[in-house]
Amino acid sequence: MKCKVCNGEMHKVIDFGKMPIANGFLNRKDFDNEYFYNMSTAVCKRCFMFQLIDQPSKEMMFNDSYAFFTHTSKSMIKHFENFFDTVNSLFLNKINNPFIVEIGSNDGSTLVNFKKNNLDHLGVEPSKNVADYSKNINNINTLNNFFDLDVSKTIKQKYRNADLIFATNVFCHIPYVHSIIEGVKYLLKDEGVFIFEDPYLGDVLNKTTFDQIYDEHFFLFSLTSAINLFDSHNMKIFKVEKQDTHGGSMRYYVSKDVNKKIEDSVDNYLEIEKNMQIDNLQIYNNFRDNCEIFKTNFRDFLLDIKKKGKSIAGYAATSKSTTILNYCNIDNNTIDHIYDTTPIKINKYSPGTHIPILDHRDLYKKLPDYLLLFAYNHEKEILNKEQKFISLGGKWITYVPEIKII
Ligand code: TMP
Ligand code: ZN
């Protein structure tokens, strides 16, 4: 058990037990052949990278029927519009005819903002169904492949060096991170910028949001561990920006120029991480204890409602819900079904726990007493959209930052 980043010794954090693929929504006929792996986590004693110990193969996770489409969330669409405005005013509008590459471009929802501004772009996306959507519906220049050093060489040959390369909620998915960084370094202009944005370890530890841990999230970055990673490639993180998305994310700006001026934001977050003792193994032990306490409290809370004869349905069949449902052993004896907007999930069953997924438009056909909000990161958007549920007497359950009824 060695660190995927620096090969250092690791400290085991928590073993979540048998887990299915987070986005592996399945048909009833496939229940008996469902794939499980052991989801166990560790932190490196040397570079402090928090990581999974094992991960299913990338082809198991990102395939022809990948279930996540960025465009299903209005707030994420807005977030990526803002992302464009930010990088445009910071760098792009100062460059003549820039070339932009996105790694893991999903359905093209982010690159559409660059395209609207007539910017030369390429999206690299391994899952064929979302890549097709990106090409055919969003008219984004898309390459259906896994990004790595070899792919970056073909891109450079066919196009040119990039001024901006970015990856949102993608970089943390990939255990062979060195090949990605080598690819980025190869493709990026000397004065170019690499930006990545992923769920932030600081939030996961502080809020016990262990549901951010699933097969696709191989790493949970802190600034401390990310700096160690890029140092090993002679690259500098020169700016960070905290984001509200996914229950707390961090955006990192990276340069090939080792003499690049480091902005205050980096020192500020390093100080915050020092104060929370992100380099002290004890906080990872505390996290493990907090997860176990949550499991007991959450189960008791839901079973108590069931004992009172009330019904509970889930809202949004998120990847995160796979972790929470499987770790807490909650199946359709407790949750009747989960409502979701994504066509590819509807009429299937949740991974591991086999709770039926229903079309969100069916919610008002047979109202549950309680709706358990799995997409707590979209709480505002969803509560606003489903005001009718409350006015008809329904109640929401959320569990971040604490288990409560709204
Ligand atoms: P994720 O947390 O794995 O990114 O998945 C988000 C899921 O939430 C996706 O299946 C769509 C679903 N969803 C809804 O059903 N209704 C909503 O209003 C929003 C924002 C998301
Ligand atoms: Zn390490």
SS3 of the chain: the string is: CECCCCCCEEEEEEEEEEEECCCCCECHHHHHHCCEEEEEEEEECCCCCEEECCCCCHHHHCCCCCCCCHHHCHHHHHHHHHHHHHHHHHCHHHCCCCEEEEECCCCCCCHHHHHHCCCEEEEECCCHHHHHHHHHCCCCCEECCCCCHHHHHHHHHHCCCEEEEEEECCHHHCCCHHHHHHHHHHHEEEEEEEEEEEEEHHHHHHHCCHHHCCCCCCEEECHHHHHHHHHCCCCEEEEEEEECHHHCEEEEEEECCCCCCCCHHHHHHHHHHHHCCCCCHHHHHHHHHHHHHHHHHHHHHHHHHHHCCCCEEEECCCHHHHHHHHHCCCCCCCCCCEEECCCCCCCCECCCCCCEEEEHHHCCCCCCCEEEECCHHHHHHHHHHCHHHHHCCCEEEECCCCCEEC
Q: Which ligand is nearest to the CA of 351?
A: 1
Looking at the CA of residue 345, tell me the nearest atom of ligand 1.
10
pLDDT at 60: 77
Within 6 A (CB) of ligand 1 lie: 68, 72-73, 316-320, 340-342, 345, 360, 375, 378, 381-382, 385
pLDDT at 234: 98
Given ligand 1 and candidates 65, 72, 363, which is best to mutate, with the most ligand atoms within 8 Å of its CB?
A: 72
pLDDT digits (tens, 9 = 90+) for 184-196: 999 999 999 999 9
Going by alpha carbons, the residue nearest to atom 18 of ligand 1 is: 382
Tell me the CA–centroid distance for residue 340 and ligand 1, in Å.
Answer: 7
pLDDT at 108: 97
Tell me the CA–centroid distance for residue 50 and ligand 2, in Å.
Answer: 9
Tell me the CA–centroid distance for residue 46 and ligand 2, in Å.
Answer: 5
pLDDT at 71: 85
pLDDT at 66: 77
pTM: 0.94
Residue ranges, the chain, pLDDT below 70: none
Q: Which ligand is nearest to the CA of 9?
A: 2
Chain-wide mean pLDDT for the chain? 96
